Chain A
Amino acid sequence: MGAIRTEELLLNVGPQHPSTHGVFRIIVKLDGEIITEATPVMGYLHRGTEKLAENLNFTQIIPYTDRMDYVSAMTNNYVLCHAVEKMMGLEVPERAEFLRLIVMEMQRVASHLVWWGTYLLDIGAMSPFLFAFRDRETIVQLFNELSGARLTYNYMRVGGVKWDAPPGWLDKVRAFIPYMEKKIEEYDRLVSGNEIFLSRIQGIGRYDAETAIRYGLSGANLRCTGVQWDLRRNEPYSLYDRFEFDVPVGKNGDCYDRYLLRLEEIRQSLRILRQALEQMPEGGETMGKVPRAIRPPAGESYVAIESPRGEIGCHIVSKGKAEPYRLKFRRPSFVNLQILPKLLVGETMTNLITILGGIDIVVGEVDA
C-alpha cells in the first residue's frame, strides 16, 4: 500500500468571518490544524480618506478621521487638530484642552472595554462581551450628551472643541470613575484568573522587544515586551505632563501580557481622568482665536499621539492653502498588523483568532 496522499488545506478566513473584527481577510495554509503560511489581505474597507482629504479643508476632514478608528474617534480628531494647530502655532484655551484630554481618556477606557469584550468573545466566553458593552454604554451616552453622536463625534475643532460640556456633565464623569474602577476589579476577578483563559493565552503570540521595534509596533503591542514607550509620557502633548500616571509594561510579550496591560491602562486612564477633573478650570473659552480660513503655512509637519492602539500620527504637507497638499495618517492598527504573518506560522487555527484579537485592530483604521 502506498503512502496516503496528503496536501495542504488552503483556508480563506474572512472577509466575512465572525472573528476578524470586520472585513479583514487572511489566507492561511493549513497542515492539519497547523498554519504553515498566512497572508493577510487588506483593503476591503478602504475609503481613500487620505486622498479625499486633499480636496477638503481641515474642518471638513475631521469627520473623516472619526471613521478611521471608529472605536476611538476622539483620539483621531485630536491628532488632526493638534497637527494643524502645531503648524499654525495656535493657542488652545485651557478649558478646551482639558475637555479634549478628558474625552480622549474616556475614549481610551471605552476602546479598551470594546477590546476586552470582543477578545473574550473570540476566546469563547460570551458574558464579558455584554458586561463590557454595558459599561461602555455609559461613556457613549456621555459622549452623546456632549457631542450629539454615539460613535462618530466630530467633536474637536482646530483651536478648541465644538461644544462646552453641558451643565452637570462633568459630575456624571466624576461619578463614572469610581464605578468603573470597581467594575475593572470585578472583571479582573471574573476573567483574569480563569484556568481555561490562562491556558488559552499565556505564551501565545510571543515576540521580543527587538522584533517589536523592528516591526514598528506601538501601544500595548510594544509595551508588552518591556519597552516603556508611551507618547503621553515620552513626548508629552496636550496636558499630559501635568498628571501622575504609570506606564505599565509587560515582560513576556505574549497575549496574556497584552491583556493585562490593557486592563491596567484602563485603571491609569481613570487615574488621569480623576486628576483632570480636579484641575479643570471652572469656565472659559472653548475655542481659541482661529483665523476664518485655516491655512497652515507651507511646509511639513508630523505629529503623533498615543491612541488606545498605539502611535497614531498625522503628517501634513501644506502649500499654504486651505486644503492639505498631502495628508498621511500613521495608523497604529495597520502598522501593528504587519507582524501577524510572522506570528501565525506554526500556530493552530484556534491561536490565529487569539493572536489576531490580541493585536487589537480596527479594520476601519487598517484600511482607512
Chain B
Amino acid sequence: MDWLSSSPVTWYDALVVFLWGVVLMLVVLGFVTYAIYFERKVIGWMQYRQGPNRVGPLGLLQSVADILKLLIKEDTIPRKADRLLFVFAPVLAFIPSFAVLAVIPYTQKLYFADLNVGLLYYVALSGISTLAIVLGGWASNNKYALLGGMRSAAQMISYEVPLVISVTGVVMMSGTLNLRGIVDAQSGGWFWDWNFLPQIIGFAVFVVAAISELNRTPFDLPEAESELVAGYHVEYSGFRFAFFMLTEYVYVYAIAGLATTLFLGGWHAPAPFLDFIPGIIWFALKFAFIVFFLFWLRATLPRIRIDQLMGLGWKLLLPLSLVNIFLTALFYELFQR
C-alpha cells in the first residue's frame, strides 16, 4: 500500500484503508473464535476429554454460541463502581491490542503499515492495555479485582523490560526496527539464518516474557482463579467481559505474529528447496505452532507465585537479556567488522 502515502489522501483512499481495516478485524475475530475452540479441543485431548462437540459439527460453533450468549447477557455495573472508568476499561484494553496488529507483516507484499519504528510502536501500544487492566480492577470497586489489577500492573511492568531488551539483539542484527526489514534480514534460505538460533538467549527470554505479557499459564496471576476468583474482570459480565477475553486472544495473535516475525523468519521457508510453498503458508504454520505452544503450556504447568514471578523477571530474565545484548555486540564487533 505504498501508493497510498505517495499521493494526496482522497475519499477513495480513505475508504480503501477503512475496508482493509475491516478485513483485518474479520480475520482477527475469526482467529479468536477458532483459537478458543482450538484451545479447548487441544486441552481436552491432553486431559482425556472430548472438548466442545455439541454445538454445530464437531462443536465448531461452540465459540459462536458462547459469544452470542455473552452479547445477550444482562449488562451489570456494580452500584459502587466508577461508572465511566468501568465502561471505558474494556474498550481501552481492546483498542491497542488491535492497533498493534497493523505492523505485523504476513508476507513480502501483505502487510498493513510499513512503519520504520514498527517494533517500538508495538511495545509502546501494548503497554496501554496494562493501564486498562489496572483501570478495570480499580473501577470495579471489588477487592479481588483490585488485587488482580495491581498484580497485573506489577507483572506487566516487570516483564515489559526484559521483553524489550530481549528483542534488542534482533534489532542489532538486522539494523532496523522495521518488522518487514527484520524479516528480510533473516532471508538466508535456511532455517539457521532465522534469528532464533543466533539469538537463542534472546529468544528464550522473549518467550517467557511474552507468555507473562499475555497473562497466560504459568503466569496467569492477574486472573488466578483459585486465589482471586477471576482477578481484574471479576465484576464484568456480558459484552464487557467479552471485550477483555477478546483482548487476551487478540494479544495471543499479536505475540504469535511478532515471535514469528522476529525470531522464526516470518514468511521464509526453512530450506531453499521448500521455497515453492507460498510464504503465507509458512507464516501461518509458524504462527500456529506458537499458538499451539501457548495452549500446550496451559495444560501442563501450575501457576507461579507472585513474588517468585517478580524474582524471575528482575533477577533472571533482565540480566540474561542484558548479557544477550552484550554478547551480540561483542560478536559483531569482533567478527563482522
Contacts and interface: CB of A to CB of B under 8 A. Distances in A.
Given A126-B47, A127-B46, A353 B226 contact: yes
B309 to A, nearest CB: 10
Contacts of B147: 11, 33, 349
Nearest to B307: A348
B302 A33 contact: no
A33 B306 contact: yes
Contacts of A283: none
Nearest to B44: A130
A237 interface: no
A352 B229 CA distance: 13
A350 B302 contact: no
A124 B224 contact: yes
Interface string A61-100: 0000000000000000000000000000000000000000
Contacts of B225: 18
A352 B300 CA distance: 23
B143 A196 contact: no
A353 B226 CA distance: 7
A200 B305 contact: yes
Given A194-B302, A199-B304, A200-B305, A124 B226 contact: yes
B220 interface: yes
A123 interface: yes
A352 B144 CA distance: 14
Contacts of B276: none
B48 interface: yes
Contacts of A349: 147, 227-228
A259 to B, nearest CB: 12
Contacts of B220: 124
Interface of A: 9, 11-12, 17-19, 33, 120-127, 130-131, 134, 194, 196-197, 199-200, 348-353
B48 A196 contact: no
Central interface residue in A121, A130, A352, by most chain B CB within 10 Å: A130
A363 to B, nearest CB: 16
18 contacts: A18-B225, A18-B226, A33-B306, A121-B226, A124-B217, A124-B218, A124-B220, A124-B304, A130-B48, A130-B49, A131-B48, A196-B301, A196-B303, A197-B302, A200-B304, A348-B305, A348-B307, A349-B147
Contacts of A134: 48
A350 B227 contact: yes
Across the A-B interface, the 9 shortest Cβ-Cβ residue pairs:
A124-B303, A125-B302, A130-B47, A19-B226, A123-B302, A124-B302, A122-B226, A350-B305, A127-B47
B43 interface: yes
Interface residues of B, number: 28
Given A125-B301, A194-B302, A196-B218, 5 more contacts: A124-B303, A126-B217, A131-B47, A349-B147, A350-B227
Contacts of B300: 125, 127
A19 B306 CA distance: 17
Contacts of A127: 43, 46-47, 299-300
Interface string B117-159: 0000000000000000000000000011001000000000000
B142 to A, nearest CB: 10
Contacts of A120: 302
Interface in B169-226: 217-218, 220, 224-226
B299 A126 contact: yes
B301 A194 contact: yes
A131 B47 CA distance: 7
Interface string B218-257: 1010001111110000000000000000000000000000
